[in-house]
C-alpha cells in the first residue's frame, strides 16, 4: 500500500539549534501513527513542516498521496485533506462555541452571509461525530479548559479529513472523555483516515497506536509496532534513561492536621466535603469531569466563598474570603492552566518568580530592593533547577516543564504551609513530569502539606500517600496506595454513583 504521507531526509536548522536532523517518516491511510519524544525532541517542528507552516531545509522530500510537494503552504495542506489540532487550541474566546467549530468550514465556503441555523447545524454534526454535547451559544471564554479542547477537536471534524494531526489532544480531558475520543480516533481509522497522534501520556499511545515513531534531540530513534512496546521501553527510547517510581511514604505525620475541612458545601459545585491534610503528606484528589475538584480548590484559596461548612487551619476556624487572606494564613495554589492563570507569558522568568512576594522585597524607602530581587530569583532558579538561558528570558520561550517550575517557584517563594497543585503536569513530557514529581515529594519532605489534584489516576497513585475520589460534587471514596491497586482505584472512579446530581 502506498503511504498517504511520506517524508524523507527532513532537517531544520535555526541559528544555533538543530530542530530536526535527517528524519524520515511515513503514514498510511487508516493508520494511527503516534509521535513521541521529550519537549525539544522535534515533534512540533515536524508537524509544522507537514502542515506547511515552516519549510524544511534543502534536500527534503515530501509526498502526499503519491504526489511530490514543493514549497507547500498551509492552505495547500488543508486542500489536500490535512487538518491539525494544535496544543494551544487557537480558539477565539470572544466567539461562541458554534462559531468556533464552524469557522473553518464557513471560511472555506467563502459565503458572505451565514445563518445562525447553519452554524448550529455544522457544529452539531461535528459534535455528533465524537458523541459529545456542548453549549453552542456560550462564549468560549466562559467554558472550561476541557470543553475548549473539545471545541478544537470538533472544529477539525467539519472538513473532509484525510490526515488528522492531533497534538496533545487529551491534555485537559478526563479519562471518560479520553476514552470517548480514542474511540472516535479508532472509528476514523476504520474509515481510512490517517491519524498522527502526539501525546505525552504513554498509556494512550500504547492503547491507540498501530506504530510509534520516537524522536530524541531532533533525531529519529526508530519506528516500532506498538505491540513491541511497553511503558518502560518507551520511556527508555524517549529519554535514554530508565525511570522508575518508588511509592511515596511520608515521614511520621503529626497528630494535628494543618488543614481540616468539615461539611464544606457550595451550591451547584460540591457538597458536604470533609477531609484532613497533614504537614508533610501528599493527599491526592481525583475524579471525572464535573466532580468539583477545581471548584473545591478555589474555595480553599479564597476565590469562591462556600455556602456552608467550616475550614480549620492549624486547629483554628478560619474564613477565607480572598486570595490575599489565603496567602496570609499560608495557602498557595498552582492553577490548572499555567498559560492563562499561572504566568505572565511575555514577562521574564525573574519577574514571574517574584510576583507573589514583591511586598517582601522592599527597602526602607518602600521601593524594590534590586539585590533582594536578584537574590530571590537566583535562589529559586537554582533550587528548582529551572533551565533557562537567562533570568530575563520571556517565560513563553521555555519548555512546558520549565514553565511549570517557574509557577512552582512563584508560589513556593511565599513559604506556604499548604500547597494546592491542580493538574501540575498537564502537557509536560515524561522526563519533565518525573522531575516535577520529585520536586513535589521534596516539598512534602520539607513539611509542606500538598493537595495534588489530577485527572491522571497513575499520577496521584504513584505520588500520594492517600487518594480521595470525588464524583458529582461529593467525596465518594478514599484509598491508600499501599493497600489498594491502581486498577481498583480506576475501576472505582468509573463506577456510576448518584452523587448530588449537579
Task: Copy the grid coordinates of residue 147.
Answer: 470543553
Closest CA to 25 of 200, 211, 185: 211
Q: Are residues 82 and 131 in the same domain?
A: yes
User: What is the pTM for the complete model shown?
Assistant: 0.74
**pLDDT confidence of residue 73:** 62
User: Within its chain, how far is the Cα of 422 from the centroid?
Assistant: 10
Q: Is residue 191 part of a domain?
A: yes
Q: Assess whether 315 and 221 both reside in one domain.
A: no
DSSP codes, 134-154: --TTSBGGGS-HHHHHHHHHH
Whether residue 22 is found in the same domain as residue 123: yes
Would you state the cell numbers that stand for residue 452, as one nine-digit string?
Answer: 495534588
Same domain, 326 and 371: no
CATH code: domain of residue 468:
3.40.50.300
Is 248 within a domain? no
Question: Is 336 inside any structural domain?
Answer: no
| 361 and 485 share one domain | no
Q: Which of 150, 141, 154, 165 is nearest to 101 (CA)?
A: 154
Helical residues (DSSP H) of 309-448, grouped into ranges: 323-329, 349-354, 370-383, 400-412, 430-445
Residue where a domain terminates, one of 369, 399, 415? 415
Residue 246 placed within a domain: no
Helix axes 145-156, 97-109, angle to 10 degrees: 20
Check residue 496 and report its DSSP letter. -
Last residue of one domain, picked from the residues 390, 415, 440:
415
Q: For residue 252, is it within any domain?
A: no
* 10-residue stretch averages of pLDDT, the chain, 502 residues long: 93 89 96 91 90 89 87 67 80 93 79 83 87 90 81 82 86 70 85 91 90 95 95 89 81 92 95 97 88 93 95 96 95 84 89 91 88 92 87 88 89 94 84 86 95 91 95 93 89 62 38
Instruction: Indicate if 57 and 196 belong to the same structural domain.
Output: yes
Q: Judge if 303 and 219 occupy the same domain.
A: no
Q: What pLDDT is attached to residue 22?
A: 95
At 417 the pLDDT is: 97
Domain assignment present for residue 251? The answer is no
387 shares a domain with 322 = no
Residue 459 within a domain: yes
Q: Output the pLDDT for position 74.
A: 58
Last residue of a domain, one of 182, 211, 239: 239
CB contact at 8 A, 460 and 467:
yes
**Together in a domain, 345 and 388:** yes
Q: What is the Cα–Cα distance from 261 to 488, expressed in whole angstroms?
A: 26
Which cell goes with 229?
A: 512496546
Shared-domain flag, residues 400 and 444 = no
Domain that holds residue 295: 258-330+416-502
Report whether 318 contacts 329 (CB < 8 A). yes
The reported pLDDT for the residue numbered 475 is: 95
Other beta carbons within 10 Å of 473: 26
pLDDT at residue 158, as a whole number = 82
- Establish if 245 belongs to a structural domain: no
**pLDDT for 40:** 78
Number of domains observed in the structure of the chain: 3
Q: Are 429 and 401 in contact (CB under 8 A)?
A: yes
CA 123/CA 106 separation, integer angstroms: 11
Identify whether residues 352 and 493 lie together within a single domain: no
Strand ranges (E), 255-324: 259-266, 270-277, 282-287, 308-313, 316-318
Do both 296 and 429 map to the same domain?
yes
Amino acid at each position: 500500500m502506498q503511504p498517504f504521507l511520506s517524508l524523507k531526509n527532513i532537517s531544520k536548522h535555526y541559528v544555533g539549534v538543530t530542530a530536526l536532523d535527517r528524519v524520515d517518516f511515513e503514514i498510511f491511510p487508516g493508520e494511527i501513527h503516534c509521535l513521541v519524544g521529550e519537549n525539544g525532541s522535534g515533534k512540533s517542528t515536524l508537524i509544522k513542516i507537514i502542515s506547511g507552516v515552516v519549510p524544511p531545509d534543502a534536500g527534503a522530500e515530501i509526498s502526499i498521496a503519491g504526489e511530490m510537494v514543493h514549497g507547500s503552504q498551509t492552505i495547500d495542506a488543508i486542500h489536500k485533506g490535512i487538518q491539525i489540532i494544535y496544543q494551544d487550541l487557537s480558539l477565539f474566546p470572544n466567539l461562541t462555541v458554534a462559531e468556533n467549530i464552524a469557522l473553518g468550514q464557513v471560511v472555506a465556503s467563502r459565503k458572505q452571509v451565514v445563518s445562525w441555523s447553519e452554524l448550529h447545524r455544522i457544529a452539531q454534526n461535528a459534535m455528533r461525530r465524537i458523541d459529545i454535547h456542548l453549549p453552542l451559544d456560550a462564549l468560549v471564554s466562559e467554558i472550561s479548559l476541557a470543553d475548549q479542547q473539545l471545541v478544537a477537536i470538533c472544529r477539525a471534524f467539519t472538513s473532509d479529513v484525510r490526515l488528522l494531526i492531533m497534538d496533545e489532544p487529551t491534555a485537559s480531558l478526563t479519562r471518560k472523555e479520553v476514552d470517548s475520543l480514542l474511540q472516535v480516533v479508532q472509528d476514523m481509522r476504520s474509515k481510512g483516515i490517517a491519524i498522527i497522534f502526539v501525546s505525552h501520556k504513554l498509556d494512550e499511545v500504547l492503547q491507540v497506536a498501530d506504530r510509534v515513531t520516537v524522536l530524541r534531540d531532533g533525531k529519529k530513534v526508530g519506528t516500532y509496532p506498538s505491540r513491541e512496546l511497553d511503558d518502560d521501553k518507551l520511556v527508555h527510547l524517549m529519554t535514554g534513561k530508565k525511570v522508575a517510581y518508588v511509592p511515596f511514604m511520608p515521614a511520621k505525620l503529626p497528630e494535628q492536621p494543618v488543614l481540616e475541612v468539615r461539611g464544606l458545601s457550595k451550591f451547584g459545585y460540591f457538597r458536604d466535603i470533609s477531609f484532613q491534610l497533614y504537614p508533610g503528606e501528599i493527599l491526592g484528589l481525583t475524579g471525572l469531569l464535573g466532580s468539583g475538584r477545581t471548584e473545591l480548590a478555589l474555595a480553599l484559596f479564597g476565590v469562591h466563598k462556600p455556602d456552608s461548612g467550616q475550614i480549620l487551619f492549624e486547629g483554628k476556624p478560619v474564613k477565607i474570603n480572598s486570595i490575599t487572606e489565603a496567602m496570609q494564613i499560608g495557602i498557595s495554589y498552582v492553577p490548572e492552566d499555567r498559560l492563562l492563570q499561572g504566568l505572565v507569558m511575555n514577562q521574564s522568568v525573574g519577574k514571574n518568580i517574584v510576583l507573589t512576594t514583591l511586598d517582601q522585597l522592599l527597602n526602607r524607602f518602600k521601593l524594590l530592593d534590586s539585590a533582594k530581587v536578584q537574590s530571590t530569583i537566583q535562589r529559586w532558579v537554582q533550587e528548582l533547577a529551572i533551565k533557562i538561558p537567562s533570568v530575563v528570558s520571556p517565560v513563553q520561550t521555555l519548555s512546558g516543564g520549565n514553565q511549570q517550575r517557574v509557577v512552582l517557584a512563584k508560589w513556593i517563594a511565599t513559604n506556604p504551609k499548604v500547597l494546592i497543585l491542580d493538574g501540575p503536569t498537564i502537557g509536560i513530557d515524561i522526563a519533565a513530569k518525573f522531575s516535577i514529581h520529585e520536586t513535589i515529594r521534596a516539598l512534602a519532605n520539607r513539611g509542606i502539606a500538598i493537595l495534588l489534584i489530577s485527572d491522571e489516576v497513575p499520577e496521584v497513585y504513584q505520588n500520594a500517600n492517600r487518594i480521595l475520589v470525588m464524583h458529582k460534587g461529593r467525596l465518594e471514596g478514599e484509598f491508600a496506595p499501599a493497600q489498594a491497586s491502581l486498577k481498583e482505584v480506576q475501576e472505582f472512579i468509573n463506577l456510576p454513583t448518584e452523587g448530588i446530581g449537579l
